[in-house]
């Protein structure tokens, strides 16, 4: 009887799903309600991109799309790395593309420009002399551009988040597996120095078994979100009409690595809760009284100040993620990893470590631990990264590591499953918030490969042959 009941529920569920294509199945509030794989593939037949090493590239030929906020800095950073050729630059705005090219004056790079046409990026991607497409456009374009690029035979690096919907997450996964092209999300916080230090400590067992972790993106961005000259078409402000954790990956990425998510454990389900908005709407109305430009936003409903999402993993561990970009608080990503033998916490700074409930280790002990557990990537490139810059050097470490892996034919430590899993927290948190914080299942984008996948050891610096150009 139990077996018959399970079969009945399973078949009933499948029958209901078959009535509506998964990509279009919606709840009344517009949120997706089907987190399962819309392709319904056989898990045994998928190509596993975790640990996949693409054929090595002596020279990595790059095309950049999106040269507004982060793109120009990425262009300059890549120009400092051996074995890189910047072949093409693309932005809808002509002046942005021209400015990015002008910044390369005095270097060996003379890229072609693509601009003035919403489809110009496709013309750039269709070139046959590019290996990597670097995407730094508004969020809604990340998946369409990444999918198109992989289908055109290019590896992809995309800014965060990699996808906005569950369906988009699956599109990235399916396309990466089908094309055998890397799809790496540019989660720079995984390369911040304390995060790399604690990851190395975790991998060497210093904290015992990690049972809980916390991450966040707490950053007062109210004035930036309402800067009418800051983001094209006010796209970032418009993203804040959604309700949930819209930007989870900065806090989540490093702790997901520490907990071996997709590599021995996976996220099982989450629940999410949000406060009301006490800041964005009042600010919009205040601006609208002084400037007609803001009148369309004066009566909009914005996301709440604080969102808190809690995840339970299959192995019974927990993750807490917070998101607040509209409260006057000190910047924080929290970065807490808690194990059976000790814990590490970064915010408030500086990063600290403890092995009991009474106190943090002393400054002298901390220096000794840093010396013992400093990852080779930091020893080799850390000081140069700080000089070149990008959020204190972590952006350059990320770019350098990516190029070094491609040039040495090594797997990337952040693969398409990470891009999908970390990004999916946003739409799933929206679903949970809309359902009075009911739990929502997290899809298994690895199709059961998480059980045997192994971490890629960024901390050991396999490869490391690529030089930094002064």
pLDDT in tens, 351-372: 999 999 989 999 999 999 999 9
Q: What is the pLDDT of residue 96?
A: 97
pLDDT band at 27 (very low <50, low <70, confident <90, very high): very low
pLDDT band at 470 (very low <50, low <70, confident <90, very high): confident
- Scanning 216-269, the segments in alpha helix (DSSP H) are 222-225, 235-239, 249-258
* pLDDT exceeds 60 at position 58: yes
Phi, then psi, of 125 in degrees rounded to 5: -65, -30
Q: What is the pLDDT of residue 17?
A: 28
Q: What is the pLDDT of residue 34?
A: 47
Overall pTM surpassing 0.85 (yes/no): yes
User: Does CATH number 3.40.50.10860 belong to domain 189-460?
Assistant: no
Break the chain into its structural domains and give their ranges: 48-186, 189-460
Pairing of strands 318-324, 307-313: antiparallel
pLDDT, one tens digit per residue, over 295-312 is 999 999 999 999 999 999
pLDDT band at 230 (very low <50, low <70, confident <90, very high): confident
User: Does CATH number 3.40.50.720 belong to domain 48-186?
Assistant: yes
What percent of the chain has a predicted confidence (pLDDT) above 90?
87
Q: What is the pLDDT of residue 458?
A: 82
At residue 111's C-alpha, the angle toward residues 62 and 55, to 5°, is: 20
Length of the chain: 470
Q: What is the pLDDT of residue 11?
A: 31
pLDDT, one tens digit per residue, over 241-265 is 999 999 999 999 999 999 999 999 9
Summarize the confidence of residues 277-289 as an average pLDDT: 97
Question: How far apart, in whole angstroms, are the C-alpha atoms of residue 140 and residue 122?
Answer: 16
* pLDDT exceeds 80 at position 405: yes
């Amino acid at each position: 009887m139990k077996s018959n009941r399970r079969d009945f529920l399973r078949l009933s569920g499948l029958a209901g799903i078959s009535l509506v294509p998964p990509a279009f199945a919606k709840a009344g509030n517009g949120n997706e309600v089907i987190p399962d794989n819309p392709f319904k593939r056989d898990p045994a037949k998928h190509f596993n991109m975790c640990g996949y090493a693409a054929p090595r590239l002596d020279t990595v030929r790059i095309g950049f799309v999106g040269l507004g906020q982060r793109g120009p800095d990425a262009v300059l950073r890549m120009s400092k790395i051996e074995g890189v050729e910047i072949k093409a630059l693309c932005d809808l705005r002509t002046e942005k593309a021209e400015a990015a090219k002008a910044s390369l004056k005095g270097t060996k790079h003379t890229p072609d420009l693509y601009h003035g046409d919403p489809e110009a990026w496709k013309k750039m991607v269709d070139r046959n002399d590019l290996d990597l497409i670097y995407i730094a456009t508004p969020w809604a374009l990340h998946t369409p551009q990444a999918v198109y690029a992989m289908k055109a035979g290019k590896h992809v690096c995309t800014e965060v988040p990699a996808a906005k919907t569950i369906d988009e997450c699956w599109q990235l996964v399916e396309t990466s597996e089908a094309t055998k092209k890397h799809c790496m999300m540019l989660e720079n916080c995984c390369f911040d120095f304390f995060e790399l230090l604690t990851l190395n400590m975790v991998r060497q067992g210093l904290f015992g078994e990690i049972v809980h972790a916390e991450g966040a993106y707490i950053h007062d961005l109210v004035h930036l979100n309402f800067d009418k000259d800051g983001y094209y078409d006010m796209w970032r402000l418009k993203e804040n009409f959604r309700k949930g954790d819209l930007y989870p990956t900065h806090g989540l990425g490093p702790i997901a690595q520490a907990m071996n998510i997709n590599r021995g454990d996976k996220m099982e389900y989450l629940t999410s809760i949000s406060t009301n908005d006490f800041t964005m709407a009042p600010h919009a109305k205040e601006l609208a009284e002084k400037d007609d430009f803001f009148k369309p936003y004066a009566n909009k409903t914005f996301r709440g100040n604080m969102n808190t999402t809690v995840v339970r993993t299959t192995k019974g561990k927990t993750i807490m993620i917070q998101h607040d970009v509209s409260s006057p608080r000190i910047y924080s990503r929290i970065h807490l990893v808690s194990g059976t033998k000790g814990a590490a916490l970064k915010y408030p700074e500086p990063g600290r470590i403890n092995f009991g409930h009474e106190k943090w280790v002393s400054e002298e002990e901390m220096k000794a631990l840093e010396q013992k557990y400093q990852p080779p990537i930091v020893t080799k490139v850390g000081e140069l990264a700080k000089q070149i810059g990008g959020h204190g050097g972590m952006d350059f470490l990320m770019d350098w590591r990516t190029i070094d892996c491609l040039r040495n034919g090594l797997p990337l430590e952040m693969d398409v499953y990470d891009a999908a899993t970390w990004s999916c927290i946003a739409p799933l948190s929206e679903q949970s918030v809309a359902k009075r914080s009911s739990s929502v299942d997290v899809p298994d984008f690895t199709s059961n490969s998480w059980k045997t996948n192994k971490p890629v050891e960024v901390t050991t610096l396999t490869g490391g042959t690529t030089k930094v150009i002064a």
